[in-house]
Chains A and B, each alone.
Chain A
Amino acid sequence: MVPQKIKVSFCMYEILEKKVLSDAVKLMKIKAPLVAKKAQPGQFIILRIDKKGERIPLTIADYDRKKGTITIIFMEVGKTTKQLGLMKEGDKILNFVGPLGIPSEIENYGTVVCIGGGVGIAPLYPIIRALKQAGNHVVTILGARNEELLMLEKEIDEISDEKHICTDDGSKGTKGFVSDVLQKLIDDKIKIDIVWAIGPVIMMKVVADLTRKYNIRTIVSLNPIMVDGTGMCGGCRVTVGGKTKFACVDGPEFDGHQVDFENLMLRNSRFVDEEKHSCKISGVE
């Protein structure tokens, strides 16, 4: 009675590969053939580890349609991500649903600057790859608090036409924020057709504020708290251009110049005291 073509890996999703990228950042390849078949850059999944678990969203960092795997890269910030970080190859995750959200709008824009901060570098990777394949000249700026927290450098280097690295403490690349590097590119009169910025909310806000001044279109990927990821709860609502949008179905990517970042930061801190919150996603601040 099991349908032939639409085969679902019944209930359990196996961890096929695990890599420790840094103390708190891990990469996993998960067997999820149905999700892999449809996954596109810019989309995300929602997983639940076990029966008592919370549903948490994670961006699709990579996918392999042939092998039927999805790569996730996550930062351990709280209960679920820490528990996930302790799991081993061969372990199984109870629920894994996706791909959710609207894929990135990939086309040939000309010159694209892709900015990744901290774990935000992970979701940026498939987007960079797709932009490159579409014929863009891709300039990447990767930033993190320190060298430890930089990731996918080699992979991204191979597909970028130009690459800049910066860290807050100067342990790798130039010392400073991604926005400083972007400012320099702008000052150097490099023609920039569009910017993609993914990272901590504050980073995306700073980048958007900067590009607004120069009228450079900027796409950001938002990470509000989510429950279902299908437009059913409204928990993920964000204010974009004065209108309420549901990030899970209308996004997660939006025009950075229209996003109300202050409201997003507030809504994201509704279940923790602010101190804890600030350690959320590493990177530039």
Chain B
Amino acid sequence: MPEQDPKKRINNFDEVPFGYDEQTAIAEAKRCLQCKNRPCVDGCPVGIDIPDFIKEITEGDFEKAAVILKNKTNLPAVCGRVCPYEEQCEGKCTLLKLGEPVGIGRLERFVADYILRKGEKLPKKPVPTGKKIAVVGAGPAGLTCAGDLAKMGHSVVIFEAFHAPGGVLMYGIPEFRLPKEIVRKEVEYIEKLGVKIQYDVVVGKTISVEEILDEYDAVFFGTGAGLPSFLNIDGENLAGIYSANEFLTRVNMMKAYKFPEYDTPIKIGKKVATFGAGNVAMDCARTALRLGAEKSYIIYRRSEKEMPARNEEIEHAREEGVIFKLLTNPIRFIGDEKGNVKQVGCIEMKLGGPDTSGRRRPIPVEGTEFKIDIDTALIAIGQSPNPLIPQTTKGLEVERWGNIKTDEQGRTNIPGIFAGGDIATGAATVILAMGAGKRAARSIDKYIKSNKQ
């Protein structure tokens, strides 16, 4: 797919891939073999009828293609951009064995963008059931669950702590990967289905779960994995050291990259080190370049092979000039006399035998300590579930890492309380969160119908 030139794009926040035009999309769609056994569909966590929507593209009926997509996903323009499709649908595509799989994700993006530009018809208004459901959190899980429930005729309100919808889609994933305008438009569609979003409501603080249950027939928690992890090494509270969440929120949601037009500041200096090697880390390192960093490092304690980020993201980061310092572990931060971070002390690592996760365990190599000069450090080593909801919901069962315990259908141990997405699984993916939201919507519908009061 055509992309912005790396040299140019590190000076702007515009989207990197341009997306297919109609001709390319049709040509790509024609490569699909329309396999009878549909392996690609099995690879999609929400079970999109992939061959069917692709078939409509080959016939030039993009609107019909959109209807097929929207049967299974409320956020196709988002999925078509950020889904790790190479491991999911495209990873199962028959054509993969013969070389290139069908560009399913890109085709999905093409159709979604087409319909966003064109404007789309709403599905027929369902018969109102008179039931009220509260959804907590307007991330992918909550939005999907809410949209599906609204389509079933229930009255749905989302309570969102922030002043904007989207969860990580809005505050985490950068503009150049997922334009916020796209998120906003897809959320608008969900609102048009009848979903109300009430911002500035922190459930557990502003209103309690008991109050919600007094008034609503069921509640869904899609509150995400918002709690940032830190390295827990010396000097981590020096000025200039941010969690990935803080850094990305300032830049994406508060638009610090447009400071002073927008009021929220960000200061990164010339040399920025990002710790971790997942998608979040790539987003940080690439954002740093766009904010003017001359050197942007990824510091990771394992090797290239173990990096958890998507290949596409790693590739993009490399093209843009991110410097990878692999098999390197930070051991302490060193500050200047004013308390700003100025260096990070690191040690070289080597890989030993496999650990419990099956990956080879990194072991420090003695006597290899060295220092890297930095102005800013970004900690992107993971997030765990936000503890606020579990803490303020009496009797709610949680697992070891604080995830809310649910069954396959999103039911918690308390009748009427459902959960899904990162809050139940720990940090995962957009599409998995959406899948969880969908399953929970079905199970909430079933619960309400069987629960005749």
Please classify the interface of chain A as helix (H, G, I), strand (E, B), loop, or mixed, using the class held by over half of its residues.
Answer: loop
Interface residues in B217-255 by Cβ distance below 8 A to A read 226-228, 230, 232, 236-240, 242-243, 245-246, 249-250, 254-255
- Of all chain B residues, the one with the shortest Cβ separation from A100 is B205
Near B by CB (< 8 A), chain A positions 214-242 give 227-228, 230-235, 237-239
Is B70 part of the contact surface with A, judged by Cβ < 8 Å?
no
Residues of A within 8 A of B214 (CB): 5
Across the interface, which residues of A come within 8 angstroms of B239, CB to CB? 266-267, 269-270
Do the beta carbons of A231 and B388 come within 8 Å of each other? yes
Q: Is B200 interfacial (CB 8 A cutoff)?
A: yes
- B162 in the interface (beta carbon within 8 A): yes
Known interface pairs A244-B230, A244-B237. Does A6 touch B207 (Cβ–Cβ under 8 Å)? yes
The residue in chain B whose Cβ has the minimal distance to the Cβ of A80 is B263
B194 near A1: Cβ-Cβ < 8 Å = yes
Partner of B227 from the list A34, A53, A231, A260 (CB cut-off 8 Å) is: A231
B residues less than 8 Å from A190 (CB atoms): none
Contact across chains for B243 and A235 when beta carbons are under 8 A apart: yes
For chain A, residues 71 to 104, give those with C-beta under 8 angstroms from any C-beta of chain B.
79-80, 94-100
Q: Which residues of B contact A35 (CB under 8 A)?
A: 206
Chain B binding site: helix, strand, loop or mixed by DSSP? Answer: loop
Q: Would you list which residues of chain B between 383 and 437 have a CB under 8 Å from chain A?
A: 386-388
Given contacts A6-B211, A11-B199, A54-B263, contact A231 B243 (CB under 8 A): no
Q: Is A233 touching B243 in the complex (CB atoms < 8 A)?
A: yes
Look across to chain B and name the residue whose beta carbon is closest to the beta carbon of A7.
B198
Chain B residues with CB below 8 A from A237, complex form? 230, 237
Which residues of chain B (346-368) have a CB below 8 Å from chain A?
Answer: none
Q: Is A184 an interface residue (CB 8 A)?
A: no
On whether the beta carbons of A271 and B242 are closer than 8 Å, the reply is no
In chain B, residues 192-217, which have Cβ atoms closer than 8 Å to a Cβ of chain A?
194, 196, 198-202, 205-207, 211-212, 214-216
Mark B273-290 against chain A: 1 for CB-CB distance below 8 A, else 0: 000000000000000000
Task: Find out whether the CB atom of B245 lies under 8 angstroms from the CB atom of A234.
Answer: yes
The answer for the CA separation of A228 and B194 in the assembled complex, in Å, is 28
Interface size class of B (residues with CB under 8 A): 35 or more
Q: Are A266 and B388 in contact (CB under 8 A)?
A: no
B222 to chain A, nearest CB (A): 14
Distance between Cα atoms of A257 and B235 in the complex (Å): 21
Q: Mark A261-273, 1 if CB is under 8 A from B, else 0.
A: 0110011011100
Closest to B155 in A: A1
Q: A99, B199: Cβ atoms under 8 Å?
A: no
Check if A52 sits within 8 Å of B255, measured CB to CB. Answer: yes
On whether the beta carbons of B246 and A235 are closer than 8 Å, the reply is: yes
Within 8 A of A (CB), among B261-320: 261-265, 267
Q: Does residue B126 face the partner (Cβ distance < 8 Å to A)?
A: no
Contact between A227 and B386, CB atoms less than 8 A apart: no
* Cβ-neighbour of B254 out of A55, A232, A249, A260 (below 8 A): A55
- Check if B60 is an interface residue, CB within 8 A of chain A: no
Question: Which of B155, B200, B230, B246 is most buried by chain A, counting CB atoms within 10 A of its CB?
Answer: B200
Q: Mark contacts of A91-133 with chain B using CB atoms, 8 A cut-off: 1 yes-contact digit, 0 otherwise.
A: 0001111111000000000000000000000000000000000
Interfacial chain B residues near A239, Cβ < 8 Å: 237
What are 23 A-B pairs with beta-carbon distances under 8 A? Answer: A1-B157, A1-B194, A8-B200, A10-B198, A34-B207, A35-B206, A52-B263, A55-B264, A94-B163, A97-B206, A227-B249, A227-B264, A230-B226, A231-B227, A231-B387, A231-B388, A232-B245, A232-B249, A233-B228, A237-B237, A244-B237, A266-B339, A270-B239
